[in-house]
């Protein structure tokens, strides 16, 4: 019985995984190989061409999503690292207040926040309208319906997910090791580069993981802030699923996106020299 | 110890656990295969009687509708509540036919209830699917006396629902062009303005495949009701060129109306009543049906399968066909009412009214977009009717434009 205990204890989480991850994934894999239509039903035909067709038709949007995801992730890293550093080392007693401020936007719905940006950045809205009236901006200046707006929206919406893991990693850096670096005649820059930065890399890794994946798949920002040619793969999957009722194509695209992201993550893990991706993310 | 017990209790490696998980997943996969078709047989003669025989009034009704489709004070619904004692819940949950259908399809497919007793859908692919899939409850016309007495002939005989078996119209409307008079300094009359390079980046088009297809075809002088696959492709190319030239800013859902009212786009495809409501609110927008043609559509009320209060729903549907109620509704939403008597009622009201209100009412009565004459109807076209197979050709042509 004692030998069984760990398995029994793990049972709920296994069940959880089985019901909410494995079953839907298998069902989706099955649907992605079927052919038919929503009215007459779909039947399993092991049609692997669903994949090549879907990728062929939507390679532009797939590539664009990866590009936007990557741009947003870099922007988040550039903005997020200093913020996390500040909260971890400089905020002192106000640390928890800053962390709370970081989480505050989550009290408002994601979609609503994005729509507010649409309102704020409107061509003749309270911001640009005023600046245009003062003659500070040319009349045809606009931010909405551009790549910048979509990447900006993604950056804004996922930023906390970058900051928090980095903060957690930096928080754990023992001040004594930094002191030791200084004792060994390291300048502040050298101490950061050779001690603090390497110790925070697992946090950076987790942050990138938690932002790049959802940012790449997100349909909301492109739909609300984007324009004519900012369609991302998430929008395509949504249309295939909801409008065209083409469940096989939607499933095939979802799997393709998942595969591309996984490959990307493993390549990135290799590049960062992290031996074990899962371990780093969990640390 | 028997092998089964041993198998279950002896220590195993992590790999074994994964393997077992794999087997069970594969087993589940087989079970999960296939999405059932749901094509419904046409209702038998006694199906209507069968369904309605056991139903009774429950004293409440949940109405799912589009935004900008009911006066702010919910006047017609309040009156309904007073007259019948039926409480109502009014939800503005429908923004786009396709999206709405996509959301309700899995629920109805699983045989569950949507929690709505009336939903409103435009005559188009999705409504066709609702009927084909048996998601709409057949209506008992013995309980729709007002519809029988007051609906216009055109609204009783609709090609997409012969004999009004499943639906009754809520309202009709026209898709045309709206423009913001602060930015557009000329009178827009032609669909060519939507393709004019001088409005580069300032034109809004609709994301809905059927809506945009019609405008592509109007621009080419093609009648969408009689169009063929070759016509669709030509229209697709015309729209693609418009997009590639950077003329279109964005392909919109219902949000187009805010965009044009704010001036993010200067001119856009638009639905008639939306624009009139904004005009009344003092916003600088104007609506026009282009000389080349406009699209007429009808939004229809239906009772979804599994609705909890079908009798109350049917009563509300019929109630909205009382001329006085229809007039109050139409005076606010300013689309095309299916009840012709409304025009006379508004005329009487205009006689009694004075000043600004009288002028507004007179404009409404004379408006070809609220009370189209036969000649006006002749200039308007419906959507292209598509079979499921045709739809699989039609959609990609236009989505490759709207979702480039």
CA atoms within a 13 Å half-sphere pointing along the CA-CB vector of A144: 26
Residue contact B403–A236, C-beta within 8 A: yes
Helix (H, G, I), strand (E, B) or coil at A184: coil
Reading the block at residue A218, the tokens are: 């997100």
Contact B180, B261 (CB under 8 A): yes
Question: Using the beta-carbon criterion (under 8 Å), do B37 and A229 form an inter-chain contact?
Answer: no
Tell me which chain B residues have a C-beta less than 8 angstroms from the C-beta of A6.
Answer: none
pLDDT of residue B18: 55
**Residue A209 vs residues A71, A88, A163, A255, B282: alpha-carbon distances, Å:** 14, 21, 12, 18, 49
> Over the stretch A161-211, which tens digit does the pLDDT of each residue have?
999 999 999 999 998 999 999 999 999 999 999 999 989 988 999 999 999
From B127, B190, B132, select the one nearest B383 (Cα to Cα): B127
- Interchain CB distance below 8 Å, A61 and B11: no
Check CB contact under 8 Å for B388 and A37.
Answer: yes
Confidence of residue A3 (pLDDT cuts 50, 70, 90): confident
Q: Rounding to the nearest 10 degrees, give the CA dihedral for residues B333, B334, B336, B338.
A: 50
Quick: pLDDT tens for A116-158: 999 999 998 889 988 998 988 888 889 999 999 999 999 999 9
Residue B376's pLDDT is: 83
Chain A residues in contact with B181 (beta carbon < 8 A)? none
Query: Quick check: B293 and B303 in contact, CB under 8 A?
Result: no
pLDDT bin (cut points 50, 70, 90) of residue A279 is low
Predicted local distance difference test score (pLDDT) of residue B20: 56
B172, β-bridge pairs: B298, B336
Please enumerate in sequence order all residues whose Cβ is within 8 A of that of A9, keeping only pairs 6 or more positions apart, or say none.
none
Residue of B nearest to A121 (CA): B264
* Interatomic CA distance for residues B218 and A79, integer angstroms: 49
What is the arithmetic mean of pLDDT over A16-28? 91
User: What is the model's pLDDT at position B39?
Assistant: 62
Nearest CA of chain B to the CA of A281: how many Å? 21
User: pLDDT at position B36, please?
Assistant: 61
CB contact residues (below 8 A), chain B span 313-372, against chain A: none
Give the gap in angstroms from C-alpha B109 to the nearest C-alpha of chain A. Answer: 10
The stretch A239-252 carries a mean pLDDT of 91
- Chain A residues with CB-CB distance to B36 below 8 A: 41
**Option in A41, A235, A236 nearest B35 (CB):** A41
Comparing alpha-carbon positions, the chain B residue that sits nearest to A228 is B250
What is the model's pLDDT at position B140? 93
Size of interface A-B (CB pairs under 8 A): 122
Chain A residue with minimum CA distance to B26? A26
Minimum CA–CA partner of A34 in chain B? B34
Q: At A27, is the pLDDT very low, low, confident or very high (cuts 50, 70, 90)?
A: very high
pLDDT at A269: 83
Low-confidence spans in chain B with pLDDT less than 50 = 1-9, 11-12, 28, 30-31
Residue B25 burial (CB count, 10 A):
17
Domain residue limits, chain B: 47-172+297-367, 175-295+379-402
Q: Are B274 and B68 in contact (CB under 8 A)?
A: yes
In DSSP notation, B220-288 reads: TT--GGG--HHHHHHHHHHHHHHHHTT-EEEEESTTHHHHHHHTSSSEEEEEHHHHHHHHHTT-SEEEE
- Quote the minimal CA–CA distance from A60 to chain B in Å: 8
According to the model, what pLDDT value does residue A12 have?
92
List the single residue in A with minimal CA-CA distance to B392. A244
Q: Identify the pLDDT of residue B1.
A: 41
Q: Does B263 touch chain A (CB under 8 A)?
A: yes
Residues 127-146 of B with CB under 8 A from A: 129, 132-133
- Residues making up chain A, counted from first to last: 283
Tens digits of per-residue pLDDT, A67-106? 999 999 999 999 999 999 999 999 888 999 999 999 999 8
Judged by CB atoms closer than 8 Å, whether chains meet at B34 and A4 is answered as: no
Chain A CB within 8 Å of residue B250 CB: yes
Q: How far apart are CA B274 and CA B68, in angstroms?
A: 7
d(CA B286, CA B276): 8
In sequence order, the β-bridge partners of residue B312 are none
Map residue A91 onto helix, strand or coil.
Answer: coil
User: Is A43 within 8 Å of B133 when comparing Cβ atoms?
Assistant: no
Q: What CATH number is given for B175-295+379-402 in this structure?
A: 3.40.190.10
Alpha-carbon distance A37 to A25, whole Å? 21
With an 8 Å Cβ cutoff, are A41 and B105 in contact?
no
ipTM of the complex: 0.85
Which residues of chain A does B248 touch, with a Cβ-Cβ cutoff of 8 Å? 228
Query: Does domain B47-172+297-367 bear CATH number 3.40.718.10?
Result: no
Residue A161: predicted pLDDT = 95
Residue B365's CB: how many other CB atoms inside 10 A? 17
**pLDDT tier, A243 (very low <50, low <70, confident <90, very high otherwise):** confident
Half-sphere exposure (CA, 13 Å, Cβ side) for A279? 4
Distance, CA of B373 to CA of B354 (rounded, Å): 27
Under an 8 A CB cutoff, do B264 and A236 touch?
no
Q: What is the DSSP letter of B306?
A: T
Give the rounded distance of the alpha carbon of A50 from its chain centre: 27
Task: Give residue-wise pLDDT tens across range A105-118.
Answer: 989 999 999 999 99
Q: Is 3.40.50.300 the CATH classification of the domain at A61-232? A: no
CA distance A45 to chain B (A): 10
């Amino acid at each position: 019985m004692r030998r069984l205990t760990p398995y029994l204890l793990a049972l709920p989480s296994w069940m959880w995984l089985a019901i909410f991850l494995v079953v839907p994934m298998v069902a989706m894999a099955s649907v992605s190989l079927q052919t038919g239509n929503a009215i007459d039903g779909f039947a399993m035909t092991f049609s692997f061409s669903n994949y090549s067709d879907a990728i062929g038709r939507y390679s532009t949007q797939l590539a664009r999503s990866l590009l936007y995801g990557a741009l947003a992730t870099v922007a988040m890293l550039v903005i997020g690292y200093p913020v996390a550093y500040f909260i971890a080392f400089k905020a002192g007693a106000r640390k928890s207040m800053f962390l709370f401020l970081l989480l505050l936007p989550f009290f408002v719905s994601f979609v609503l926040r994005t729509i507010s940006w649409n309102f704020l950045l409107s061509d003749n809205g309270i911001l640009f309208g005023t600046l245009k009236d003062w003659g500070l901006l040319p009349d045809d200046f606009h931010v909405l319906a551009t790549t910048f707006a979509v990447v900006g929206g993604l950056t804004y919406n996922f930023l906390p997910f970058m900051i928090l893991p980095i903060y957690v990693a930096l928080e754990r850096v023992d001040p004594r090791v930094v002191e030791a670096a200084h004792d060994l005649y390291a300048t502040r820059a050298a101490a950061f580069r050779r001690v603090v930065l390497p110790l925070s890399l697992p946090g950076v890794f987790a942050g990138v993981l938690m932002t790049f994946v959802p940012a790449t798949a997100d349909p909301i920002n492109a739909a609300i802030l984007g324009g004519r040619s900012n369609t991302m793969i998430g929008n395509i999957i949504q249309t295939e699923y909801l409008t065209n009722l083409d469940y096989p194509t939607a499933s095939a695209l979802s799997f393709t996106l998942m595969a591309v992201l996984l490959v990307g993550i493993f390549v990135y893990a290799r590049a960062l020299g992290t031996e074990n991706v899962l371990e780093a993310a969990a640390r | 110890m028997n092998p089964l017990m041993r198998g279950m209790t002896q220590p195993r490696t992590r790999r074994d656990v994964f393997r077992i998980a794999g087997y069970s997943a594969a087993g589940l996969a087989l079970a999960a295969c296939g999405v059932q078709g749901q094509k419904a047989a046409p209702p038998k003669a006694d199906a209507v009687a069968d369904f309605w025989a056991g139903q009774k009034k429950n004293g409440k009704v949940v109405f799912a509708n589009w935004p900008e489709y009911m006066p702010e004070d919910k006047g017609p619904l309040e009156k309904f509540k007073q007259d019948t004692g039926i409480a109502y819940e009014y939800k503005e949950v429908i923004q786009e036919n396709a999206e709405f259908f996509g959301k309700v399809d899995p629920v109805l497919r699983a045989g569950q209830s949507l929690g709505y007793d009336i939903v409103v859908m435009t005559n188009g692919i999705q409504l066709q699917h609702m009927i084909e899939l048996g998601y709409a409850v057949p209506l008992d016309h013995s309980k729709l006396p007002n519809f029988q007495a007051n609906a216009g002939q055109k609204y009783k005989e609709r090609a997409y629902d012969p004999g009004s078996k499943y639906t009754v119209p809520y309202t009709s409307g026209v898709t045309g062009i709206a423009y913001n008079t602060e930015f557009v300094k000329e009178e827009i009359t032609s669909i060519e303005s939507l393709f004019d390079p001088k409005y580069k980046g300032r034109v809004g088009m609709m994301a809905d495949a059927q809506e945009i297809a019609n405008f592509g075809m109007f621009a080419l002088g093609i009648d969408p009701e009689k169009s063929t696959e070759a016509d669709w492709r030509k229209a697709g190319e015309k729209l693609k060129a418009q997009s590639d030239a950077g003329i279109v800013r964005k392909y919109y859902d219902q949000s187009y109306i805010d965009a044009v009212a704010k001036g993010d786009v200067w001119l856009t495809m638009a639905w008639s009543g939306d624009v009139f409501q904004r005009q009344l609110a003092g916003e600088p927008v104007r609506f026009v049906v282009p000389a080349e043609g406009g699209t007429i559509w009808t939004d229809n009320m239906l009772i979804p399968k599994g609705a909890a209060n079908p009798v109350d729903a049917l009563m509300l549907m019929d109630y909205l066909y009382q001329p006085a109620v229809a007039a109050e509704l139409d005076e606010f939403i300013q689309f095309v009412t299916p009840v012709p008597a409304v025009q006379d009622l508004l005329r009487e009201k205009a006689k009694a009214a004075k000043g600004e209100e009288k002028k507004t009412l007179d404009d409404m009565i004379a408006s070809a977009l609220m009370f189209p004459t036969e000649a006006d109807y002749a200039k308007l076209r419906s959507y292209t009717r598509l079979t499921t197979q045709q739809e699989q050709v039609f959609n990609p042509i236009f989505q490759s434009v709207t979702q480039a």
